[in-house]
Amino acid sequence: MHVIGQFLTLALLAFSLISAQWHLLFLVPFVIYPFAWAGHFLFERNKPAAWSNPLWAKACDWIMLKDIITGKIGWRK
């Protein structure tokens, strides 16, 4: 769920920059939250870190995406 949210974040960022719709840039930091929170509540059954430390959670989301893309962590290890 985090990965879907991250890719949609990148898609919105690219769209807003390419189309010069600058007002959409304000939404970019928030795109991931519905996906990440759904994953936490429905699958992991825990509290998202974004509730207690949103900036740390955002940084960790990007690190996790990098680790998934590079194969450092996988779907089923």
pLDDT score for 49: 83
Round to whole Å and give the CA distance between 30 and 9: 8
Would you say residue 74 lies in a domain?
yes
pLDDT score for 50: 83
Round to whole Å and give the CA distance between 27 and 10: 11
φ, ψ dihedrals at 7, nearest 5°: -65, -35
Round to whole Å and give the CA distance between 58 and 68: 16
Quote the domain boundaries for residue 76: 1-9+50-77
The answer to whether 32 and 64 are in contact (CB under 8 A) is no
Does residue 77 carry a pLDDT above 70? no
Selected residue with higher pLDDT from 30 and 75:
30
Would you say residue 4 lies in a domain?
yes
Would you say residue 34 lies in a domain?
no
**Spatial CA neighbour of 8 closest among 33, 37, 32:** 32
* Per-residue pLDDT reduced to its tens digit, 19-71: 999 999 999 999 999 999 998 899 988 888 888 888 898 899 999 999 989 98
